[in-house]
Chains A and B, each alone.
Chain A
Amino acid sequence: MKMPPFRVHSPKSLDEALQMSQDLAESGEEFDWIAGGTDLLPNYKWHINVKSHVISLSSIPELRELSEGHIGSMVSISELAEDTHTHPVLAKAANSVASILIRKSGTVGGNICLDTRCYWINQSETWRESIDWCHKCDCGTDADCRVIPNQNTLCVATYQADLAPVLMCLGASIHLASPKGVRSLPLSEFFELDGMKRNILEKGELVTHLTIPEDSSEWVGDYQKLRQRDSWDFPEAGVAVLWKGVSSQGPERLRVATTGLESIPSLHLEEAEGALSSWRGAETIEDLAESIRKAVKPVQNTWFSPAYRRKMVKVLTKRACSDLLVI
Chain B
Amino acid sequence: MAEEEEDSVSGDEIIGYRQQPGKLPFSRPGSGGKNRFSEATDPEKIPISQGGSLEQPWGPHRHDELVSGQIIGKPTALVDSSWKVTGRAHYGDDVRLPGELIGRIVRSPHHYARVLSIDCSKALELPGVVAIATGEDAKNRFGVLPVTKDEHAMAVEKVRHAGDLVACVAAIDEATAREAERLIEVEYEILEPIHDMRKGLDDSEEPIHDRGDYHIGESNIQKRVFQEFGDIAGMSQKSIASHKKSWLFAGVNHGFTEPHAVVANWDPSGRLTLYTPQQVPHYLHRALADVLEIPMHQINVHRTFVGGGFGGKSDPFPHEMCAAILARKSGRPVRITFDREEVYWVNRGRHPSRIEMNLHADKEGRICGIETDALIDGGAFASFGHVTTYYNGVLHTAPYEIGAFHYTGARVWTNKPASGAMRGHGAVNSRCAVEVGLDDLAEELGVDPITLRLANLLPPHSATITGFRVTSIGMRDCLERVKEESGWDKKFRKLPLGKGIGIGCGFFISGSGLPIHWDPNKFPHATVHLKVDMDGGVTIHTGAADIGQGSDTVVAQSVAEVLGLPLDMIRVKSRESDTSPVDLGSYSSRVTFMNANAAISAAMKIRDELIDATVEITGAERKGLVIGDRRIFLKSDPAVGVSYLEALHKAQEDRGALVSSGAYRTPPMGRTHKGAAAGLAPAYSFSAYVAEVTVDVETGQTKVDKVWAAHDCGKALNPLAVKGQIIGSCHMGMGQVLSEEMRYGRNGNLMNPDLLDYKIPSVHEMPEVVPIIVESNDPEGPFGAKEAGEGPLLPILPAVCNAVYDAVGVRTSELPMTPEKVFKMIEKRCRNEGVSDPTELECPSLQYSELQKTLEERGEKHKSRDKERRLDEDRGDYYNGALFGLDPSTPPDEVDPRWEVRVTPDEVYLASPRLAGSAWKHTERRHMEGTK
Q: Is the CB of A232 within 8 A of B818?
A: no
In the complex, what distance in Å separates the CA atom of A179 from the CA atom of B764? 45
Cα A2 to Cα B102 in complex, Å, equals: 13
Q: Given that A131-B747, A131-B749, A315-B699 are contacting pairs, would A231 and B763 also be in contact in the complex, using a CB cutoff of 8 Å?
A: yes
User: B765 contacts which chain A residues (CB < 8 A)?
Assistant: 229-230
Q: B39 at interface (Cβ–Cβ under 8 A)?
A: no
Interface string of A309-320 (1 = CB under 8 A from B): 001100100000
| Chain A contacts with B in 96-117, Cβ cutoff 8 A | 99
Other-chain residue from B163, B340, B759 in contact with A233 (beta carbon distance below 8 A):
B759
Choice from A226, A232, A312 contacting B762 with Cβ under 8 Å: A232
Given A2-B175, A119-B757, A230 contacting B764 (CB threshold 8 A): yes
Q: Is the CB of A315 within 8 A of B820?
A: no
Report the bound CA distance from A47 to B712 in whole Å.
Answer: 50
Q: Is the CB of A126 within 8 A of B109?
A: yes
A52 close to B (CB within 8 Å): no
- Please tell me if the beta carbons of A229 and B761 are within 8 angstroms of each other in the complex: yes
B interface SS class: loop
A305 touches B762 (CB 8 A): no
- B109 near A228 (CB under 8 angstroms)? no
Please tell me if B745 contacts chain A, counting CB pairs below 8 Å. yes
Contact residues of A between 171 and 193, Cβ < 8 Å to B: none
Distance between Cα atoms of A119 and B758 in the complex (Å): 12
A303 at the interface (CB under 8 A from B): yes
Considering the chains assembled together, what is the distance between the CA atoms of A226 and B762 in angstroms? 16
With A and B bound together, what is the CA distance between A133 and B699 in angstroms?
A: 34
Please pick, from A229, A308, A312, the residue contacting B764 in the complex, using a CB distance under 8 A.
A229
Known: A2-B178, A119-B757, A228-B759. A312 touches B341 (CB 8 A): no
Per-residue A-contact encoding for B162-175, CB less than 8 Å = 1, 0 else:
11000000000011
Q: CA of A119 to CA of B750 in the docked complex: distance in angstroms?
A: 10
Smallest CB–CB gap between B344 and chain A, Å? 10
Cβ–Cβ contact A129 & B109, under 8 A: yes
Contact B110 A304 (CB under 8 A): no
Contact A2 B174 (CB under 8 A): yes
Is the CB of B116 closer than 8 A to any CB of chain A? Answer: no
Interface range for A: 20 to 34
* Chain B CB within 8 A of A28 CB: no
Tell me the count of chain B residues lying within 8 A, CB to CB, of chain A: 35
Interface pair B749/A229, CB less than 8 Å apart: no
Which A residues touch B764, using CB under 8 A?
229-231
Judging by beta carbons under 8 Å apart, are B762 and A123 in contact?
no
Residue with the greatest number of chain A CB neighbours at <10 A, chosen from B163, B757, B823? B757
**Residues of B contacting A126 in the complex (Cβ-Cβ under 8 angstroms):** 107, 109, 163, 341
CB-defined contacts of A230 to chain B, threshold 8 Å: 762, 764-765
Tell me, in angstroms, the Cα distance from A311 to B701 when the chains sit together.
13
Known: A124-B339, A129-B109, A130-B162. A229 touches B762 (CB 8 A): yes
B808-838: CB near A (< 8 Å → 1, else 0) gives 0000000000111001100000000000000
The reply to whether the CB of A1 lies closer than 8 angstroms to some CB of chain B is yes
Say yes or no: B818 contacts A226, CB within 8 Å. no
For residue A226, which residues in chain B have a CB less than 8 angstroms away from its CB?
699
A305 and B753 contacting across the interface, CB-CB below 8 Å: no
Closest to B174 in A: A2
Q: Decide yes or no: A228 and B818 within 8 Å by CB, A2-B178, A5-B175, A311-B823 being known contacts.
A: yes
CB-nearest residue of chain B to A231: B762
Assess whether B110 is in contact with A119, with CB atoms less than 8 Å apart: no
A229 partner residues in chain B, CB cutoff 8 A: 739, 759, 761-762, 764-765
Contact A315 to B762, CB < 8 A, known contacts A130-B162, A131-B749:
no
Say yes or no: is B756 at the interface (Cβ < 8 Å to chain A): yes
Whether a CB of chain B sits under 8 angstroms from the CB of A127 is yes
- A130 and B178 contact, Cβ closer than 8 Å, known pairs A119-B757, A232-B762: no
Which of A1, A119, A127, A303 is packed against the most chain B CB atoms within 10 Å?
Answer: A127
Query: Does B698 contact A315, Cβ atoms closer than 8 Å?
Result: yes
**CB distance A119 to B819 under 8 Å?**
no
- In the assembled complex, the Cα of A224 lies from the Cα of B93 at a distance in Å of 42
Inter-chain contacts of A303 with B (CB < 8 A)? 757, 759
* Closest chain B CB from A69 CB (angstroms): 33
- Determine if B54 is an interface residue (Cβ-Cβ < 8 Å): no
A304 to B739, CA, bound (A): 11
With an 8 A cutoff between CB atoms, is B14 at the interface?
no
Q: Which of A1, A130, A304 has the most CB of B within 10 A?
A: A130
A130–B699 alpha-carbon span in the complex (Å): 35
* Contact indicator A130/B749 (Cβ below 8 Å): yes
List the B side residues contacting A130 at CB < 8 Å: 108-110, 162, 749
| Contact call A304/B749, Cβ cutoff below 8 A | no
Residues of B within 8 A of A2 (CB): 174-175, 178
Closest B residue by C-beta to A124: B341
Instruction: Give chain A residues whose Cβ lies under 8 Å from the Cβ of B886.
Output: none
For the complex, give the distance between the alpha carbons of A228 and B753 in Å: 17
Cβ of B233 under 8 Å from chain A: no
Q: Which residue of chain A lies nearest to B102 when distances are taken between CB atoms in the complex?
A: A2
Residue of B nearest to A226 (CB): B699
Cα(A245)–Cα(B107), bound, Å: 62
Chain B positions within 8 Å of A123 at CB level: 341, 753-754
Q: How far is B296's CA from A117's CA once the two chains are assembled, in angstroms?
A: 50
Indicate which residue in B175, B751, B820 contacts A305 across the interface (CB closer than 8 Å). B820
User: Is A127 in contact with B756, judged by CB distance below 8 angstroms?
Assistant: no
**Knowing A126-B341, A315-B698 touch, does A228 contact B751 (C-beta < 8 A)?**
no
A228 contacts B819, CB within 8 Å? Answer: yes
Q: State A126–B110 Cα separation when bound (angstroms).
A: 11
Is the beta-carbon distance between A127 and B823 smaller than 8 angstroms? no
Question: 1/0 per position for B10-45, CB-CB distance to A under 8 A?
Answer: 000000000000000000000000000000000000
Chain A residues near B749 (CB-CB < 8 A):
127, 130-131
Closest beta carbon of chain A to B98's beta carbon, Å:
22
Contacts of B751 in A (CB 8 A): 119
* Chain A residue, CB-CB nearest to B746: A300
Docked pose: A233 CA to B756 CA in angstroms: 7
Cα A311 to Cα B753 in complex, Å, equals 27
Q: Residue-by-residue, is B849-862 near A (CB-CB < 8 Å gives 1, otherwise 0)? A: 00000000000000
Residue of A nearest to B178 (CB): A2
Report the nearest A residue to B765, measured CB to CB: A229
Most B CB contacts (10 A, CB to CB) among A2, A99, A304 go to: A2
Q: How far is the CB of A54 from chain B (nearest CB, A)?
A: 18
- Once the chains bind, are A232 and B820 in contact (CB under 8 Å)? no
Chain B residues in 8 Å Cβ range of A304? 818-820
- Could you tell me the distance in whole angstroms from the C-beta of A287 to the nearest C-beta in chain B? 15
12 A-B pairs with CB atoms under 8 Å apart are A99-B762, A123-B754, A126-B107, A127-B341, A130-B162, A229-B739, A229-B762, A229-B764, A231-B764, A303-B757, A308-B819, A315-B699
Give the interface of A toward B (CB within 8 A): 1-2, 5, 99, 119, 122-124, 126-127, 129-131, 226, 228-233, 303-305, 308, 311-312, 315
Q: Which 3 A-B pairs have the closest CB atoms?
A: A230-B764, A130-B109, A231-B762
Which residues of B pack against A, CB within 8 Å?
107-110, 162-163, 174-175, 178, 339-341, 698-699, 739, 745, 747, 749, 751-754, 756-757, 759, 761-765, 818-820, 823-824
Additional A-B contacts beyond A123-B754, A124-B341, A315-B699 (10; CB < 8 A) = A119-B745, A124-B339, A126-B341, A130-B749, A131-B747, A230-B764, A230-B765, A232-B756, A303-B757, A304-B819
